[in-house]
Amino acid sequence: MTVTLAGLATVVPPTVLVQDEVRDVFAAQPGLTRLAQRIVSTSFGVSGIETRHTVLEELTRSARDPGDPALFFDAESGELLLPGTKARNDLYAEHAGRLYVEAGRAALDRAVGLAADDVTHVVTVSCTGFYAPGPDFVLARDLGLRAGVQRYHLGFMGCYASMPALRLAAQLCEADPDAVVLVVSVELCTLHLRTSNDPDTIVATSLFADGAGAAIVTARPAAAGERVLELDRFATRTTPQGEGDMAWKIGDHGFEMVLSNAVPGLIGEHITGALAPLLAEEADLADALAAQTAGDAITHWAVHPGGRSILDKVEAALALSASQLAPARRILRDFGNMSSATVLFVLRDILDAPETSNGDRIAAMAFGPGLTVESALMTVRG
């Protein structure tokens, strides 16, 4: 049975953050030590990011009405404020639902021959907020899905979560050939940014952004001329080290990210072993990986751009060309790290590129707490 991913769509909120301007705001915060100021300057400067998107219009100096109370940013003083977790999560509930619906509708519009009434299952993904009835309910209600649509939510898994969501969707389709699964990831990471002297927090602040990605997974035949991705297989591996180097916890003033500077090195050290089970069933790909020439065997690499140093380590460890990581670097440059949604942006960039051809192989991968490496092998059709 062939299961495909179709209708791949991405959405971002309209407010744009310019990286250099955000750097200057964070570097000027009262209470920062000289060391923290240097880390802010370095982290933002080497991030590989030029722009990011946020649901917080308030973070731009001219967006807030003078009569409205400041919650995150006092534009007059230039000071970043410290709202509590409830205030941040309330904003998540306010903004996330709209993005879930917008992304889900865009995926349905891009999937040829499929409509809302065809959707049998919904899988939603997020690690940046919670509410109930949740986003799966909102999607079913606002998109007018059938009354009996089955709904699942994968929460608080981190940056790799869209990969197990796609794997779950593929398994549902393998169990039921008529299934049509709508997968939507929404992450509002900027709701949890804050000023700090802690190096891990500063690094996270320099990287994370807001965005949404969605797709349709189904075993139904693709329409003539429609470009889709065959979902060939998935693999998951945890590295033997690094459990404490990437974490996501709930604090009194939002969710707290631990992202140590050891993460890129750990990924570079273990990425080959993490990919081995994904490619083991195809001798040519497995041999290429063992010979450190995986870049010659797979055309495209949809790597989650957790940061520029992570991409550098993956490129070196797998002997990839600069062009093979160009999609990931473009997404990082223009959108930042949108946690679980980001790999869907990279896949869409690859799928829509004019140089992508029928039969091209794509290796997709994302990294998260554990350290966990989730990967998938896909084939372009159409």
Domain boundaries, the chain: 228-381
With pLDDT > 90 as the criterion, what percentage of the chain qualifies?
A: 77
Section 73-93 average pLDDT: 93
What pLDDT does 10 receive?
98
How many whole angstroms separate alpha carbon 154 and alpha carbon 164?
9
pLDDT at 257: 82
Q: Enter the CATH code of domain 228-381.
A: 3.40.47.10
Give the separation between CA 101 and CA 141, rounded to whole angstroms. Answer: 9
Which one is predicted more confidently, 308 or 68? 308
pLDDT at 283 over 90: no
As a whole number of angstroms, the distance between CA 113 and CA 360 comes to 24
pLDDT for 228 beyond 60: yes
Res. 295: pLDDT tops 80: no
Q: Is the bond preceding residue 133 a cis peptide, omega within 30 degrees?
A: yes
Beta-bridged to residue 126, according to DSSP, are 155
What's the rounded mean pLDDT across residues 10-19? 97
Contact 306, 159 (CB under 8 A): yes
The residue among 244 and 219 whose pLDDT is bigger is: 219
List Cβ neighbours of 225 (8 Å cut-off, separation of 6 or more): 112, 382
Q: What is the pLDDT of residue 158?
A: 94
User: One of 127, 159, 173, 189 is an active-site residue; which one?
Assistant: 159
Contact present, 364 and 347 (Cβ < 8 Å): yes
76 pLDDT band, cuts 50/70/90, is confident
pLDDT at 21 over 80: yes
**pLDDT for 293:** 65
Structure tokens, 352: 């829509």
Q: What is the largest CA-CA distance in the chain?
A: 66
Q: Please tell me the predicted confidence (pLDDT) of residue 212.
A: 98
Q: 108: Cβ–Cβ under 8 A, 6 or more apart, which residues?
A: 7, 114, 115, 116, 119, 143, 182, 216
Say whether pLDDT at 66 is over 70. Answer: no
DSSP 8-state secondary structure symbol assigned to residue 217:
E
In this prediction, residue 265 carries a pLDDT of 86
- Give the model's confidence band at 224: pLDDT under 50 very low, under 70 low, under 90 confident, else very high: confident
pLDDT tens track for 130-162: 999 999 999 999 999 999 999 999 999 999 999
Sign of torsion, CA 132 137 143 144? Answer: negative
What is the four-CA torsion angle of 348, 374, 300, 282, rounded to 10 degrees?
A: -130
- Cα angle 129, 36, 188; round to 5: 15
Predicted local confidence at residue 243, as pLDDT: 82
Query: Which residue did the predictor score with more confidence, 258 or 290?
Result: 258
Q: Using the predicted structure, report yes or no on whether residue 308 has a pLDDT greater than 70.
A: yes
Alpha helices in the chain (DSSP H): 19-27, 34-45, 85-110, 135-142, 162-175, 199-207, 263-279, 283-290, 294-297, 308-317, 326-335, 342-352
pLDDT greater than 60 at residue 300: yes
Q: Which H or E run includes 158?
A: none
- Give the span between the Cα atoms of 25 and 42, in whole angstroms: 14
7 or 256: which leads in pLDDT? 7
**DSSP tag of 50:** S
Report which of residues 332 and 292 the model is more confident about.
332
- The pLDDT of residue 281: 75
- Asked if residues 180 and 218 have their Cβ atoms less than 8 Å apart, the reply is yes
Before 371, cis peptide (omega within 30)? yes
Across the range 283-299, mean pLDDT stands at 70
- According to the model, what pLDDT value does residue 278 have? 86
CA atoms within 13 A on the CB side of 204: 25
Q: Is 159 an annotated catalytic residue?
A: yes
Shortest CA distance to 324 belongs to which of 295, 360, 355, 347?
295
Write down the pLDDT at residue 225. 85
Stretch among 18-27, 77-86, 237-246, 305-314 having the lowest mean pLDDT: 237-246
79-80 and 73-74 strand pairing: antiparallel
Q: What is the pLDDT of residue 268?
A: 85
Residue 259 has pLDDT above 80, yes or no: no
The model's pLDDT over 193-208, given as tens digits with 9 standing for 90+, comes to: 999 999 989 999 999 9
State residue 306's pLDDT score. Answer: 92
Residue 104: predicted pLDDT: 98
pLDDT of residue 296: 65
